[in-house]
Chains A and B, each alone.
Chain A
């Protein structure tokens, strides 16, 4: 087909901002007035087949059109649609009024190929960053008119300058006040048109953006031309495009020629619809206007539909107050009323007709939050972002993550495991030295990464079986089985990201945000390491660092330090660099050391946990004695060992660690024993201390002669009454010793008293007579009474 140069001047063009409720509202009125036969919409041209699915009754926005390449590297485009998107309302209008609706932007294969070109440019530029979000999910909107300020590189954008000139602090507020609240006839269309034209004149984009826009506009003109030539009169056509493009679709500019179209790069691609969520819409910048508060814009849309824009502030603030009340914080209606008044005054100071979101937020903070934003931030998030998730009829969705899953399965040679039959899979994470390629050499390691990622995503495909060899860090055993549930979870995971890796990264991000305890964070560090995702591990490490300062809990900190130490030590089998973990481990070690004395002030139940923590921290110390602050740790141990006002078991344990590390001289030990056992000290304090000492390496204890000398001296020095008391706790202290150990003790003591060791031992090993038993019983009672 040859295209003539006739300009498509006579079609109606309606410039919008994507996701603009007011745009949708004005657009519907405009369509009602014009009653077009054909509605042309800026959107992937090959998505036309999806239109019936979008407008089906069972479909509930927010949804998104997802385009992705079928080959590696995966590029994706996400084109989100909310109920208040002008494009969605146009589609609905067309369906209701039997008009034909068509998308007229570049088809996805060209778009994705252009994306490729752009990526290449960005990677060659020095400051290019390898962010997965930016890599994986830019949308057509991303390079679109009004959305640029949130999305792209230039920091002080044209948009902010527009806003500043109008006396607003940011572009969003500027737009809302000038466009969203403007209800006079035709005003939106004209203002958006002028705004787009002004932008084009002032725009100083990089040539790359500009070129892409020009290509797209030429293609859209071509499509408009085609529609006219196919027999629809221009006045019966409405084109709905971003405001930025509106002015050039009516002017005398050339549409794209066949030759030009042919010269564009293409990459084979697929399209699908997927359910979307408001949360996702708000959390991923770059998707266009109004994305930061989708639920609020939904409210705005509803208010417009009900012709009740002035009622919006009351609605918004009542909802905030209601969410707070549900959370148990009472706020009165009077405060809501005053909040509405304040919001209206704030807006009036800027000569606005209605309060913007920013005015409403400030009013909510001042009145309902009593000045504290943190008090209501959760309620604000629920009112502004909401939890709405879109729905699609069954069978409509074929997502990129499913494709990615299949590709990974293929790459990792796991095909035979994707069956309904349970199978075992043993992995050896070490390098296979006989393999020819690197991919083959580390096949099992990559399989492990992949399965761990699925585990994080809670896709029930593979379960980790408990390993028989506890210490073998290079072996893993999995039980693998494919089920319909796994398929469903997989499709749902697309909400997190377009590929398994992206989804896992996002999941980590969410888990980290929720994570509140040091040991949880330490586990996430480990999980990220198991998934082979270094960026997530770094994020987890940072979260761990944050949490560790908030927590003074000794056991958790010690556990985390130990966990990091283990990871760093055994990490090389997973081929990662443990260097970034070590400084944090040092910090945790310092924190743990400082927290020790405080934690040691506890009862015997809690002491069990602290004991484990002391052990772990000591392990870290021994393992990394060259980098951690060893003197600090030992000095704290000494303090604890000398302390009388802490848990005696822990004091004893500290003493035992010092003994084991030969940091306590015989004289010191002797003095300590005699001090602990001196008359006047409560019996169970001494016993507890002995219990603690004997919890560690008993052989080290048994060989220390001074200990037993002191004990012998002590027993000798007691008078009858004191001896009765002492025997109770001495019994308890040695109760845990094995017969053999007891024999050694008796030998030690015998030596000292000059008794024949064998004879002494024989006497002591004899079972007690009935009378002796009774005496001891009595002693117990006596002691209890005394306490």
Chain B
């Protein structure tokens, strides 16, 4: 507890300069209000009941305070995630890039433990020591193995405290490193043979891992490790209006922070880009009347945002200062045609069979795209 206060104090000091504050600091007011008003039983090690966690994530009311929704759209997925943690199972959030996996995992731990900072950030270079423990080698050499010389990983600390640890991008770690999690998750204890001891996990310990599905540079997960997780797939935004809303908001923000010299793209340009992305991603037109082929790329909401920001930069620096069809077409070509031969055909078919028939409204964009496509 003392430690928690210390860390809270530390973050309090530098809060002004921090590029990004952790969720539990940013939303401290909401969390406190929810804890105070909570009437339902709390699982061991939790700061609030599962229902309050749900309210914290999906929004609602707590007394007079409005709780802002942190994750919009798929409430059932959040319910399953929370229930998973109640049953002391580990949770694996899977989804395409840009579906708010890390965001959800951070807010879950912030609400449950008030601490979202026990994180292992997985990379191809992550080693087993970073998951279990390592040594202060100076002390190790001077005094031999001792508790003082032990450097505990975030997961180790979470086990001792009965808290939830986060494991970001688990699939980017090598399979051998992922395997370190297997016995850790099934036995719920970590053995330190050098000290001839074993540290059991306290009640409340669990792990939230996140993983990408359709990306390069990820390793497969073995069946053994998959089996130890409850897997929740986070879908892309439910409907086009939600997605347009997200894109519009983010593009405006980006334009401000990056000082892009162009005006933000018009609403109907955003709508067109999001429509194209959604149709290619889902493999059918929005009205569901015709199927189209999907390209090899992911075409996430995040890509749509960067595409539009990019076209703003183009328009601002080399164009008229207003985002024109031509600026967007260049970006579309680049975003969609990644794997030359196959994507080429996909995009051409989409242009000829879908976009061409959309009428005068789409004509400028179609012409620009055809020109770029060559």
Where the two chains meet, the residues of A that have a C-beta atom closer than 8 Å to any C-beta of B are: 169, 330, 332, 334-335, 338, 341-342, 345-346, 349, 362, 366-367, 370-372, 542, 545-546, 548-550, 552, 583, 587, 590-591, 594-595, 598, 629, 632
The yes or no answer to B338 lying at the interface (CB within 8 A) is no
The yes or no answer to B293 lying at the interface (CB within 8 A) is yes
Other than the given A332-B227, A338-B87, A549-B290, 11 more pairs (CB < 8 A) read: A338-B230, A341-B89, A346-B80, A366-B84, A371-B232, A546-B291, A548-B291, A594-B348, A598-B341, A629-B352, A632-B352
- Tell me the minimal C-beta distance from A12 to chain B in angstroms: 40
Closest to A583 in B: B357
Q: Which residues of A contact B291 (CB under 8 A)?
A: 545-546, 548-550
CA gap between A133 and B231 in the complex, in Å: 39
Q: Which residues of B contact A590 (CB under 8 A)?
A: 349, 352-353
The yes or no answer to B20 lying at the interface (CB within 8 A) is no
- Given the known interface contacts A338-B89, A545-B291, A549-B291, the answer about A349 and B227 at a Cβ–Cβ threshold of 8 Å is no
Of the candidates A330, A367, A370, the one having the most CB atoms from chain B within 10 angstroms of its own CB is A370
- Tell me the minimal C-beta distance from A387 to chain B in angstroms: 29
CA gap between A587 and B82 in the complex, in Å: 47
- Tell me the minimal C-beta distance from A535 to chain B in angstroms: 15
Q: Which residues of A contact B233 (CB under 8 A)?
A: 371-372
CA gap between A335 and B290 in the complex, in Å: 39
CA gap between A468 and B230 in the complex, in Å: 65
Interchain residue pairs A-B with the least CB separation, the first 5: A371-B231, A345-B83, A371-B233, A549-B291, A546-B291
- Tell me the minimal C-beta distance from A593 to chain B in angstroms: 10
Q: Which residues of A contact B51 (CB under 8 A)?
A: 349
The yes or no answer to B238 lying at the interface (CB within 8 A) is no
- B231/A349 in contact, CB under 8 A: no
A-B contact pairs, 30 of them (CB 8 A): A169-B76, A334-B227, A338-B89, A338-B230, A342-B80, A342-B84, A342-B89, A345-B86, A345-B87, A349-B50, A349-B51, A349-B79, A349-B83, A362-B76, A366-B84, A542-B289, A546-B290, A546-B291, A549-B292, A549-B293, A549-B349, A550-B291, A550-B293, A552-B345, A583-B357, A587-B353, A591-B349, A595-B345, A598-B341, A629-B352
Q: Which residues of A contact B349 (CB under 8 A)?
A: 549, 590-591, 594
What mask results when residues 339 to 358 of chain B are scored 1 for a CB within 8 Å of chain A, else 0? 00100010011001100010
Q: Which residues of B contact A629 (CB under 8 A)?
A: 352
- Tell me the minimal C-beta distance from B73 to chain A in angstroms: 13
CA gap between A590 and B283 in the complex, in Å: 18
CA gap between A591 and B223 in the complex, in Å: 40
- Tell me the minimal C-beta distance from A320 to chain B in angstroms: 15
Q: Which residues of B contact A545 (CB under 8 A)?
A: 290-291
- Tell me the minimal C-beta distance from B216 to chain A in angstroms: 21
Q: Which residues of B contact A330 (CB under 8 A)?
A: 223
Q: Which residues of A contact B54 (CB under 8 A)?
A: 349
Q: Which residues of A contact B332 (CB under 8 A)?
A: none
The yes or no answer to B251 lying at the interface (CB within 8 A) is no
Q: Which residues of B contact A335 (CB under 8 A)?
A: 227
- B79/A346 in contact, CB under 8 A: yes
Cβ-defined partner of A371 (8 Å) among B94, B345, B357: B94
The yes or no answer to B209 lying at the interface (CB within 8 A) is no
- Given the known interface contacts A335-B227, A367-B230, A549-B293, the answer about A349 and B89 at a Cβ–Cβ threshold of 8 Å is no
- Given the known interface contacts A169-B76, A346-B79, A549-B283, the answer about A366 and B290 at a Cβ–Cβ threshold of 8 Å is no
- Tell me the minimal C-beta distance from B96 to chain A in angstroms: 13
Cβ-defined partner of A370 (8 Å) among B80, B89, B226: B226
The yes or no answer to B92 lying at the interface (CB within 8 A) is yes
CA gap between A548 and B353 in the complex, in Å: 12
Closest to A341 in B: B87
- Tell me the minimal C-beta distance from A364 to chain B in angstroms: 11
CA gap between A345 and B87 in the complex, in Å: 7
CA gap between A590 and B293 in the complex, in Å: 14
CA gap between A416 and B299 in the complex, in Å: 64
Closest to A362 in B: B80
Of the candidates B87, B226, B284, B341, the one having the most CB atoms from chain A within 10 angstroms of its own CB is B87
Cβ-defined partner of A366 (8 Å) among B230, B289, B345, B357: B230
- A342/B83 in contact, CB under 8 A: yes
Of the candidates A330, A349, A372, the one having the most CB atoms from chain B within 10 angstroms of its own CB is A349
Q: Which residues of B contact A346 (CB under 8 A)?
A: 79-80, 83
CA gap between A370 and B233 in the complex, in Å: 9
Q: Which residues of A contact B87 (CB under 8 A)?
A: 338, 341-342, 345
CA gap between A741 and B233 in the complex, in Å: 68
- Tell me the minimal C-beta distance from B278 to chain A in angstroms: 16
- B83/A370 in contact, CB under 8 A: no
- B352/A366 in contact, CB under 8 A: no
Q: Which residues of B contact A370 (CB under 8 A)?
A: 226, 231
CA gap between A169 and B84 in the complex, in Å: 20
Q: Which residues of B contact A334 (CB under 8 A)?
A: 227
- Tell me the minimal C-beta distance from B204 to chain A in angstroms: 15
CA gap between A367 and B83 in the complex, in Å: 12
CA gap between A367 and B289 in the complex, in Å: 34
CA gap between A341 and B341 in the complex, in Å: 48
Closest to A588 in B: B353
- Tell me the minimal C-beta distance from A444 to chain B in angstroms: 35
CA gap between A367 and B226 in the complex, in Å: 9
CA gap between A545 and B226 in the complex, in Å: 37
Q: Which residues of B contact A583 (CB under 8 A)?
A: 357
CA gap between A545 and B293 in the complex, in Å: 11
Q: Which residues of A contact B226 (CB under 8 A)?
A: 370
- Tell me the minimal C-beta distance from B368 to chain A in angstroms: 19
Q: Which residues of A contact B290 (CB under 8 A)?
A: 545-546, 549
- Tell me the minimal C-beta distance from A349 to chain B in angstroms: 6
What mask results when residues 227 to 263 of chain B are scored 1 for a CB within 8 Å of chain A, else 0? 1001111000000000000000000000000000000
Closest to A345 in B: B83
Q: Which residues of B contact A366 (CB under 8 A)?
A: 80, 84, 230-232
Closest to B344 in A: A594
CA gap between A611 and B231 in the complex, in Å: 49
CA gap between A587 and B227 in the complex, in Å: 45
- Tell me the minimal C-beta distance from A375 to chain B in angstroms: 10
Q: Which residues of B contact A594 (CB under 8 A)?
A: 345, 348-349
CA gap between A367 and B232 in the complex, in Å: 9
CA gap between A424 and B213 in the complex, in Å: 62
Q: Which residues of A contact B348 (CB under 8 A)?
A: 594
CA gap between A552 and B84 in the complex, in Å: 42
CA gap between A587 and B290 in the complex, in Å: 11
Closest to B234 in A: A371
Q: Which residues of B contact A371 (CB under 8 A)?
A: 92, 94, 231-233
CA gap between A595 and B51 in the complex, in Å: 54
CA gap between A169 and B357 in the complex, in Å: 39
Q: Which residues of B contact A372 (CB under 8 A)?
A: 233
Q: Which residues of A contact B341 (CB under 8 A)?
A: 598
What mask results when residues 347 to 374 of chain B are scored 1 for a CB within 8 Å of chain A, else 0? 0110011000100000000000000000
Closest to B81 in A: A366
CA gap between A371 and B226 in the complex, in Å: 10
- Tell me the minimal C-beta distance from A538 to chain B in angstroms: 11
- A349/B82 in contact, CB under 8 A: yes
CA gap between A549 and B279 in the complex, in Å: 13
- Tell me the minimal C-beta distance from B188 to chain A in angstroms: 14
CA gap between A768 and B230 in the complex, in Å: 80
CA gap between A372 and B87 in the complex, in Å: 20
- Tell me the minimal C-beta distance from B270 to chain A in angstroms: 26
Closest to B283 in A: A549
- Tell me the minimal C-beta distance from A491 to chain B in angstroms: 37
Closest to A347 in B: B83
Chain B stretch 190-249: residues in CB contact (< 8 A) with chain A: 223, 226-227, 230-233
- Tell me the minimal C-beta distance from B178 to chain A in angstroms: 15
CA gap between A371 and B84 in the complex, in Å: 12
What mask results when residues 264 to 293 of chain B are scored 1 for a CB within 8 Å of chain A, else 0? 000000000000000000011000011111
- Tell me the minimal C-beta distance from B171 to chain A in angstroms: 13
CA gap between A423 and B59 in the complex, in Å: 74
Q: Which residues of A contact B82 (CB under 8 A)?
A: 349
CA gap between A341 and B88 in the complex, in Å: 10
